[in-house]
Structure 1
Amino acid sequence: MTKKVHIPVQLIIEHGAIRNLNQTQVYDWLKDRHVLLVSGSGKTRLVTEEVEAAIQGRAARAEVLCCKDNSLDTINELERHVLEDPPDIIIGVGGGKALDVSKVVGTRSNVPVILFPTAISSDAICSPVAVIKMMSKSTSIGVKMPQAVVIDLDVLSSCPPRLMSAGIGDLLSNKTALFDWRLAHREGEEEMNTFANLMANNAVESFMNILNQPELNRSRLMKVSAEALIMSGIAMSIAGSSRPCSGSEHLISHALDYHCGAKALHGEQVAIGVLLTQHLQGKQERVERLAPYYEKLGLPTHYEDLGYTREEMHRAVRKAPSMRDRYTILNQFDMTDEEIDRLLDEVYPNEAKNRYRLTVG
């Protein structure tokens, strides 16, 4: 049995990618086309202006609309514009929210999408999933994969380090997510796509191999991070779900969003969740400890550094199994209040605090 998998036709990750766009196949696609650029706000608008300038003279017409958030109202507003004045191509420029909104609008309007990420804070840069806000709560929906992804490393180098940390947190979670997927398969709860499993694992392994090198070059780190996050997105497309990159650690992050106010970035919360779920997984099998990588990369190691109280973290762990109908390591333990308290003491000791600064810069 074979399966049709949708992946981007073009992937460009290099310094000066926007400046050199006219040397690519992506530029050829834009000839005499009506292009809609969906831009994030703030500094992202400057990058959008660069992209707009790069396609002038190639596209027949280019217009820019601002994506202020990832709410359903914003998506509906942009979709109405698309239906009234249909573009041939949508170009999404920005962080996770702008990219997700672009993918949703493109999917609902049946318009191909090209993404220009300005940060790699999650695997949203290339995945068949988008996170949107409905009734003030975040929810994940399926979308079409982008036709192309263009990442300018000069743009990434100027983004806040915190966004890079969040992306790495999301990437490292492949380890615990794949453990959970294999566990669900052994328990007869889910099918296992071995090719998607291999790709998601290779994505995180390629990144960790770079970290194990004696000298860590920031430019090389950015490029490999971006490549690994894109491979993770393709693994999800192969699997037909987020399973290869989303397990119990993501359930904890979703619970923090839904029940505790979503005080931090998705990847930061996932990184915190990884520590707890990895601890539980280690009780059943030998697992590779990620703590040394957290220390090397400056990732958060305590929920209080993300602005959450002990009571909120306790609530998130208790509510996590009910966030999705997904079998994980959390289903293997009796998560009583006493058990959760013991876990919080073991996984997040006081000495793990104050290692991460919750700042934008």
Structure 2
Amino acid sequence: MTIKVRIPVQLIIEHKAIPHLYKTEVYEWIKEKKVALVSGNGKTRAVTHDIVEVISGQASRIQVMSCENNSLDTINELERMVLEDPPDIIFGVGGGKALDVSKVVGTRSNVPVVLFPTAISSDAICSPVAVIKMLNKSTSIGVKMPQGVVIDLDLLASSPPRLMSAGIGDLLSNKSALFDWRLAHAAGKEEMNTFANLMANNAVDSFLNLINRPEVDSSRMIKGAAESLIMSGIAMSIAGSSRPCSGSEHLISHALDYHCGGKALHGEQVALGVLFSEYLQGQREQVEKLGPIYEKLGLPAHYEDLGYTREEMHRAIRKAPSMRNRYTILNEFELTDESIDQILDEVYPEQAKNRYQLTGSSSG
């Protein structure tokens, strides 16, 4: 049996991708077409203006809409505006929230979407999943894959380093997520798509191989991270769910959001969750190896560096299994208060503190 997998028709990852957009097939798509741009906040507005300048002679109409947040109210308002005079294509411009909102609005209004990430803080840059806020709770929903993705490497290079680090944190979680997926398959809880498994695993390995080279400049690292995050998104499209890239580590992050105030970026919290999950998965040598990698990539190795207390981290671990109906390593253990305390001491030792600064948090 074969399945139909949707992937972007156009993928552009290069320097000056926005100024040179007129040279691409994406530019041909919009000839005498109506284009709606969903723009995030901050410097995203300037990027949106740059895109408008490039396409103004090609599109028949350009409408710019502001995306203040990823709440259901914002999505409903943007969808209303789109349906009043439907565009032929939507350009989503910004960080993770703006991209997710664009995908949701495009899916609900049946309009194709092209994404222009201004940062790579998560795998939202190309995935069939979007995170939205409903009743003050972050919820993942299925969406159509974008028709195209345009990544301007010069733009990414100018974004706060913290945002790229968060995206890499999201990428590294593929390892623990795949372990959980195999565990669920062995327990008879879920089917395993071996091709999606292979792609998600290779996405991480290709990036780790890149950063382990003696000399890798920042431009190559940014491009490598973007390519690996896109491979992760395609792995999710193949699987038909976020399973290849989301397991127990994501449940911990969701619990931090919902029960502890969500004090940090998604990828940063996921990176913390990876350490706890891999410890439970019996991969304690891997946890030790991640220490130097986290330090090199600017990822937090202790919850206090993200503003969480021990009590909050303890609460998140306890609540994580109930965040969604997904079988993971957390279902294999009866974690008591005492055992959680012991693991917190081992996974997040005192010497792991103060290696990380909370700077440059805006993700548009």
Task: Name the TM tier (shorter chain).
Answer: over 0.9
1:182 corresponds to: 182
Q: CA deviation at 1:287?
A: 8.0
Counterpart residue number, 2:313: 313
Letter in 1 for 2:327: Y
Q: Note the 1:2-151 alignment, pairs <5 A.
A: 2-151=2-151
Decide whether the 8 Å contact of 2:13 with 2:150 is kept in 1. yes
1:288 Cα deviation after fit:
8.7
- 8 Å Cα contact 1:247-1:328 kept in structure 2: yes
Residue 156 of structure 1: aligned partner:
156
CA deviation after TM superposition for structure 1 residue 215, in Å: 1.2
Q: Identify if the C-alpha distance between structure 1 residues 286 and 227 changes in structure 2 by more than 3 Å, giving closer, same or farther.
A: closer
Instruction: Specify the alignment match of 2:280 in structure 1.
Output: 280
Equivalent position amino acid for 1:17 in 2 = A
Instruction: Tell me the SS of whatever aligns to 2:335.
Output: coil
Q: Which residue of 1 aligns with 2:303?
A: 303
Q: Which amino acid aligns with 1:69?
A: N
Taking structure 2 as the reference length, the TM-score comes to 0.97
Aligned equivalents of 1:73, 1:156: Cα separation in 2: 29
Q: Deviations over 1:319-358 (max 9, x none)?
A: 1111111111111111111111111111001111111101
> How many angstroms apart in 2 are the aligned matches of 1:345 and 1:117?
38
- TM-superposed CA distance for 1:284, in Å, is 9.2
Equivalent in the alignment of 1:205: 205
Equivalent position SS for 1:11: strand
2: CA distance, partners of 1:271 / 1:284: 15
Q: SS where residue 79 of structure 2 aligns? A: helix
What SS does the aligned partner of 1:151 have? strand
| 8 Å contact kept, 2:122–2:166 | yes
- State the distance in 1 between where 2:299 and 2:289 align: 14
Following the alignment from structure 1 to structure 2, what is the Cα–Cα distance between the partners of residues 158 and 87? 31
**What CA distance in whole angstroms lies between the structure 2 residues aligned with 1:310 and 1:122?**
26
CA distance in 1, matches of 2:94, 2:287: 36
**C-alpha deviation, 1:186, in angstroms:** 1.2
Question: How far apart, CA to CA, are the structure 2 residues paired with 1:345 and 1:58?
Answer: 59
Alpha-carbon shift at residue 26 of structure 1 (Å): 0.5
Give how far 1:63 is off.
1.3
Structure-2 separation of matches of 1:136 and 1:334: 29
Runs of 5+ in structure 2 lacking a partner?
Answer: none
Residue 216 (structure 1) shift: 2.3
Aligned to 2:293: 293
Following superposition, the deviation at residue 141 of structure 1 comes to 0.5
Partner secondary structure for residue 63 of structure 2:
strand
Distance 1:246 1:234 in 2: 14
Aligned-partner residue type, residue 218 of structure 2: R
Q: Secondary structure at the match of 1:31?
A: coil
- The number of residue pairs the alignment matches comes to 361
TM-score by length of 1: 0.98
**How many angstroms does 1:129 deviate by?**
0.4
Q: Name the counterpart of 2:225.
A: 225
The offset of 1:303, in angstroms, is 0.4
SS across alignment from 1:290: helix
Structure 1 residues 286 and 16, CA, compared in 2 at 3 Å: closer, same or farther? closer
CA deviation vs aligned residue, 1:207-253 (integer Å, no higher than 9, x gap): 00001100121000000100000000000000000000000100000
Question: 2:293, 2:185 → 1: CA distance?
Answer: 28
Query: Residue 238 of structure 1 corresponds to which residue in structure 2?
Result: 238
Q: Per-residue CA shift, 1:83-138, capped at 9, x if unaligned?
A: 11110000000000000000000000000000000000000000000000011111
Identity percentage over the alignment? 77
Match of 1:324 in 2: 324
Deviation at 1:60, TM superposition (A): 0.6
2:4 match: secondary structure: coil
Deviation at 1:298, TM superposition (A): 2.0
| Structure 1 residues 195 and 285: CA distance shift in structure 2, 3 A | farther
SS where residue 166 of structure 2 aligns?
Answer: helix
How far does residue 291 in structure 1 lie from its aligned partner after superposition? 2.3
Residue pair 1:281, 1:287 contacting (<8 A) in 2 also: no
- Residue 173 of structure 2 contacts residue 245 of structure 2 at CA under 8 Å; is this kept in 1? yes
State the distance in 2 between where 1:286 and 1:209 align: 15
1:79 maps to amino acid:
E
Deviations 1:132-179 (A, max 9, x none): 001111111000000000000010011001101100000000011111
Contact 1:252 1:317 in 2 (8 A): yes
Q: CA RMSD in A?
A: 1.3
Q: CA deviation at 1:289?
A: 3.7
Partners of 1:328 and 1:337 lie apart in 2 by: 19
Q: Is the 8 Å Cα contact of residues 99 and 117 (structure 1) preserved in structure 2?
A: yes
